[in-house]
Structure 1
Amino acid sequence: MTAPGHALRFSTGAGRGALLAATLASGMVFLDSTVVNVALPRLGAELDATVAGLQWTVNGYALVLAAFVLLGGALGDRLGRRRVFLVGAVWFGVASVACGLAQDSGTLVAARFLQGAGGALLTPGSLAVLQASFHPDDRGRAIGAWSGLSGVSAALGPFLGGWLIDTLSWRWIFFINVPIAVAVVFAGLRWVPESRDSDAPRAGGERFDVAGAVLGALALAGVAYALIEAPVRGPAATPVLVAALVGLLAAVAFGLLERRRGDAAMLPVGLLSGRLFPVLNVFTILVYAALGGFTFFLAVHLQNAVGWSALRTGLASMPVTVLLLVGSARAGALAARIGPRLPLTVGPVVAAVGLLLLRRVGAGASYQVDVLPGVLLFGAGLTLVVAPLTASVLAAVPDRFAGVASGVNNAASRVGGLLAVAALPLLVSLSGTGYAQPAELTAAYRQALAWCAGLLLAGAVLAALLVRRPSGQSQS
């Protein structure tokens, strides 16, 4: 049964309950995108992993999440957003247990693949249920709160992970997801109304685009494998060349297939007909590539080169948490008044300055002098971006595409992080066990942050030139 659309009000108990379910779910997925970075040095040592092993621990999750988040959004639109959302919560919790029980890096990577599949069902659903269920007058407020609280969960990950790693074990960064998943299922069953796209074909019909999802996954997997394995095997090695060729051919086939299927595609051509939606997703790739590369290198650098504990490393990024908590709703309201162009232009520039300041962090670094200023600037810039970007992406498409649009944008963010983690170690010549050598790691870290700052500045230029107010975003 399809619940009436736009029925929930922000001030009601049901509205707050639905927001709680969506926030906990997306927060759990985002948490596992950041918390693992703090654990990399410890699990690398315990499982005897190389740089490639660490990259796949991050990218195995990001790859499946990015490849199938579009399918997750489409499944929600067709089968029911709450139904798919709840299946994703259970799946994610079970896969998290498998991650925590892993005894070698290969098993951990395999479990991270499964965890990414659960996240692909949860991530678009968490936002789509808000977009489809809340009254139009309260939708912006609900999305702003979701953006801020979900961002806080992602930023809180390093702190929580550091405490768990130092106090118990790196395995508990995965086990902690179990009670969160239980809470998501409870809140979802109690407060989230069912909704679906009544015009969408049902799964199992000939129009359901499973082939598109598979081709998208092959494209990402081939490119990621080539980038990660090139430093180890050599760029001319047969497996690297074959993987790159498979990835490129799959990407071309994906584009051709989606164009042929039209609005029945996993990535409907109707979404790409407007100029703003594609621009916002390219912007997302650039910004989240910078974020993914930065978080990967910072956590390893602070522990293996600077000598900090996992907990202290996690605490280093706490100002980002505070800024997201305090500022996301205000940033969303500002963008609603003046349009998204200014926040999406200024935010990446401020964040880039923060990363350039953080390049000076090395052995004997002081938190107050060397780390805090850069973290504050990076957090302020990120706060200006998150809520305006999310609201603009959804306002740029018709409501019936809410699930798919959310999936596309989440896929864009995951693709950005995935490509950065895959490519940056190659670009800065970090491979093997180089992450355990302080001098080699420091040089690579400083080059990587320069690359990340460049990506942010490219995003700022794109926003300044091409972003405008979405037609579905009224001026207040």
Structure 2
Amino acid sequence: MNRRVLVPAAVLLSSLSFPLTITGASVALPGLTDELHASPTAAQWVVTGYNLCFAAFLAFGGSLADVLGRRRLYATGVSLFLLGSALCAVAGDVGLLVAARLLAGVGAAVATATGQSLLASVFDGAARARVFGALGTVLGVGVAFGPTASGFLVDVAGWRAVFWVPAALAGLALLLCPALPGGRGVRRRVDWAGGALFTVGLGAVIWVFVHAPDPGPDLPVALVVAVSCAVGFVRVERRAVGPVFDLALLGDRAFLGYSLVAAAMMALLVPLLVYLPSYFIEVAGVEPTRAGLWMLALTVPSVLLPGLGAAVAKRSPRLVATGSVLVASAGVVGLVTIGPDHVPWVPLLLTGIGVGLTTGVVDGLALSGVPADRAGTAAGLFNTARLAAETVALAAVGSALTALGSGFTDALRVVVVVAGCAGFAVALGAHALLRTGR
């Protein structure tokens, strides 16, 4: 086979496994919590740890790929993800499971960044647009149908199966790696200081959120570390020759506005993807397969609606960006009607519609006004901002559900109202930025 077949085959296989392991963990959470006797805090790290490492290492992985070579680093990332997922599947205690999730998150981040670079190096023009469209479709399908597939796996083979399947997909991708184009790395400086400060700082922020319901003497230390890393990161990035992030891009009001929209969408969606299946299983008392089917109301619009969102964006990009956040936020607030005997179908659909209209669309809008020689840097900053917001929101929601302690239903109702109102505020802020932007 030639590389125009092998490269997309490997990258699409690995890319499908990454969202599956996010949604799979959410459906597996009740079962693994019971079997491994995991505390609420430990259970949060099972979910949040993967997202944390994915967000922290995504841009850094792209920088390393340019220096060390794409094929080598892609194979390394897939191998780490495979090892981490396999360890998750055999873990006998929650400590090993959390460590394995961290390892899998690092591998997924590195493989994602280098996989996209491999695609860009092999394809150009219309072919590149088609292959990246296929990548977006695969990612969307993984998120949309992941809860349903994971629910079926849990019912049939137990919670460990949701980690074996992504490991198997990664294994297939790894078999194709020797046939991928090599390419030597280029000599340039790696912003080790910036990457380390960002990773440690984000980890400290997540630590604060996860441990806030049961604060100990380490919580003030984590706060100091987070603030110190933030200050240090800004200073280092301003002076670095080849920074991990070009912070000057944040001066582009349109880029910042669209980044806020993307971040808000993930912050609204991902906590629901993680905690709603647990609610349906634990409180509504349904089997995991049915819980996964119910989640389709939230996830399927992300597969069906991006084309409509793109069409609307051609006429009014600001309308589709801020209007979608308002729709999704209204849907999240509407989830206050949830109960053991009531599935709020309309709010779930509204939230899914808001997310679906912007999936992939705001990415293009954010990058449309960025000079071509800064597009890669801008894409790294945009994606990392979105993933970081998603990870912080996930940790904050998990901590709020634990801290409220008034029963899952009442706590979830409080969380969705607060999250929805925050979404409304972000929509207003993004509207102001976009109105005075490009």
In structure 2, the partner of 1:210 is 192
Range with greater deviation from structure 2 (52-61 or 281-290):
281-290
In structure 2, the partner of 1:312 is 290
In structure 1, the partner of 2:392 is 419
Match of 1:249 among 207, 222, 228: 228
In structure 2, the partner of 1:322 is 300
Aligned to 2:349, the other structure's residue is in SS state helix
User: Is 1:341 aligned to residue 318 of structure 2?
Assistant: yes
CA distance in 2, matches of 1:36, 1:398: 39
CA distance in 2, matches of 1:270, 1:142: 30
| Shift in Å, 1:375 | 2.3
- Is this contact kept in 2: 1:30–1:150, CA < 8 A? yes
Q: Deviations over 1:117-168 (max 9, x none)?
A: 1011022234444455433345445434432331221122111111111111
- Is this contact kept in 2: 1:140–1:391, CA < 8 A? no
| Shift in Å, 1:214 | 1.3
Q: Deviations over 1:377-397 (max 9, x none)?
A: 222111111111222344444
In structure 2, the partner of 1:464 is 431
Q: Alpha carbons of 1:396 and 1:71: their partners in 2 closer, same or farther (altered >3 Å)?
A: farther
In structure 2, the partner of 1:299 is 277
Match of 1:451 among 418, 429, 432: 418
User: Is 1:22 aligned to residue 11 of structure 2?
Assistant: yes
In structure 2, the partner of 1:9 is none
Unaligned segments of structure 1, at least 5 residues: 1-12, 472-476
Match of 1:380 among 353, 356, 366: 353
CA distance in 2, matches of 1:137, 1:339: 25
Q: Deviations over 1:284-308 (max 9, x none)?
A: 3222111222223312211122112
In structure 1, the partner of 2:407 is 440
Q: Deviations over 1:238-282 (max 9, x none)?
A: 2111111111111111111111114x1111345445333333333
Q: Give the TM-score of the pair, scaled to structure 1.
A: 0.83
Q: Superposed, which structure 2 residues align to 1:113-124 within 5 Å?
A: 113-124=102-113
Q: Match of 2:338, as an amino acid?
A: V
Identity %: 31
In structure 1, the partner of 2:336 is 359
- Is this contact kept in 1: 2:253–2:437, CA < 8 A? no
Q: Alpha carbons of 1:148 and 1:38: their partners in 2 closer, same or farther (altered >3 Å)?
A: same
Q: Superposed, which structure 2 residues align to 1:51-130 within 5 Å?
A: 51-130=40-119
Range with greater deviation from structure 2 (107-116 or 121-130):
121-130
In structure 2, the partner of 1:5 is none
Aligned to 1:52, the other structure's residue is in SS state helix
| Shift in Å, 1:470 | 10
User: Is 1:220 aligned to residue 202 of structure 2?
Assistant: yes
Unaligned segments of structure 2, at least 5 residues: none
Q: Alpha carbons of 1:374 and 1:128: their partners in 2 closer, same or farther (altered >3 Å)?
A: farther
User: What RMSD, in angstroms, separates the aligned Cα atoms of the two structures?
Assistant: 2.9
Aligned residues: 438
Q: Deviations over 1:358-382 (max 9, x none)?
A: 22121122xxxx3332222222111
Q: Give the TM-score of the pair, scaled to structure 2.
A: 0.90
Aligned to 2:337, the other structure's residue is in SS state coil
Q: Match of 2:104, as an amino acid?
A: Q
CA distance in 1, matches of 2:138, 2:327: 21
CA distance in 1, matches of 2:177, 2:252: 34
Q: Alpha carbons of 1:132 and 1:462: their partners in 2 closer, same or farther (altered >3 Å)?
A: farther
Q: Match of 1:220, as an amino acid?
A: L
In structure 1, the partner of 2:268 is 290
Q: Match of 1:257, as an amino acid?
A: V
Q: Match of 1:293, as an amino acid?
A: P
CA distance in 2, matches of 1:120, 1:92: 9
Q: Match of 2:222, as an amino acid?
A: A
Q: Alpha carbons of 1:139 and 1:173: their partners in 2 closer, same or farther (altered >3 Å)?
A: same
Q: Superposed, which structure 2 residues align to 1:240-279 within 5 Å?
A: 240-262=219-241, 264-269=242-247, 271-272=249-250, 274-279=252-257
Aligned to 1:148, the other structure's residue is in SS state helix
CA distance in 2, matches of 1:227, 1:120: 22
